[in-house]
Amino acid sequence: MPRHQPATPAKQHIRPMPVGWWLKRTSYFLFMMRELTCVFVGGYALFLLMLVARIGEPDAFAALLEHPGSLVFHVLALPFVLYHTITWFNVTPKALVIYRGEEKVNPVIIAGANYVGWIVVSVALIWIAWIAIGSA
Amino acid sequence: MARSKEPIWWSMFSAGGVIAAFLIPATLLITGFAPLAGYITAEQLHDLIDRSWLVKIYLFILIALPLFHWAHRFRFTVADLGLRGGAALQAILFYGAAIVGTICAAVILIRA
């Protein structure tokens, strides 16, 4: 007996999305902004790569650091990387569910611990850079 | 069917996300706003990187993992923005760029 064949081949149905769908609602817009933070995260990695590639040439290193384009990038990137940090910490309790005995640890505590850790690490980094430069 | 490579890329995305969340804001202040405000000169920043292995390792981590974070998230962003064709080519391009960037960073920092 021949296997049943559908009269017409099944087609994957892809709902057409208007290009500007993410502008339609605040929640969609914030989602897209969160996704676009990756452009600045990756962009900053690229900037650091370009910077370390110039370690052998101090003048080129300074030229890149002081280039107007680099300053514009830093100013644009700051709000995006901060938004990455905030959204990342806020979803951490969803990915990392911690139990203490039978009780689930309050997600606010997990996110809060991340924020406290972030502030400590940030202050430490700036302090270390400050000390290292001062001792040079 | 080939086993999915997705968990590998996802863990790199996740590791890069953590590193970026904790370290990029402060580092951005050091490389961008401190020089602008005159707290640090380009020469001082150059010497800071040049004479310390710890700083070099720090920068390697801060280049490599965020590149993989970008590659993974950007794949989905591009699809969400409506460009759905050539998904395999996109994956090769984005993950490939992250791999090339990581190798470049390693070579540059080991030689420097």
A111 domain residue, yes or no? yes
The tokens describing A116, both together, are 């406290």
CATH of the domain at A84: 1.20.1300.10
Domain boundaries, chain B: 11-111
Residue of chain B whose alpha carbon sits nearest to that of A79 = B25
CA-nearest of B30, B102, B17 to B63 is: B102
Total domain count, chain A: 1
Which CATH number is B11-111 given?
1.20.1300.10
pLDDT tens-digit profile, chain A (136 residues): 556 665 666 667 777 778 888 898 999 999 999 999 999 999 999 999 999 999 999 999 999 999 999 999 999 999 999 999 999 999 888 877 788 888 888 888 888 899 999 999 999 999 998 888 877 6
Cβ pair B70, A38 in contact under 8 A: yes
Contacts of B50 in chain A (CB under 8 A): 55
- Judged by DSSP in three states, A103 sits in strand
Does residue A48 lie within any of the structural domains?
yes
Q: Determine, yes or no, domain membership for A133.
A: no
How close is the nearest chain B Cα to the Cα of A26, in Å? 16
C-beta separation of B101 from A46 below 8 A: yes
The overall average pLDDT reported for chain B is 90
Tell me if A6 is assigned to some domain: no
Within a domain: A94: yes
Rounded CA-CA distance A64/A39 in Å is 20
* Structure-derived torsion over alpha carbons of residues B29, B30, B35, B41, reported in degrees to the nearest 10: 180
Indicate whether A67 belongs to any domain: yes
User: Whose CA is closest to B71, among B13, B24, B17?
Assistant: B13
How close is the nearest chain B Cα to the Cα of A21, in Å?
A: 8
**Residue numbers of the domain that contains A60:** 23-128
ipTM score:
0.92
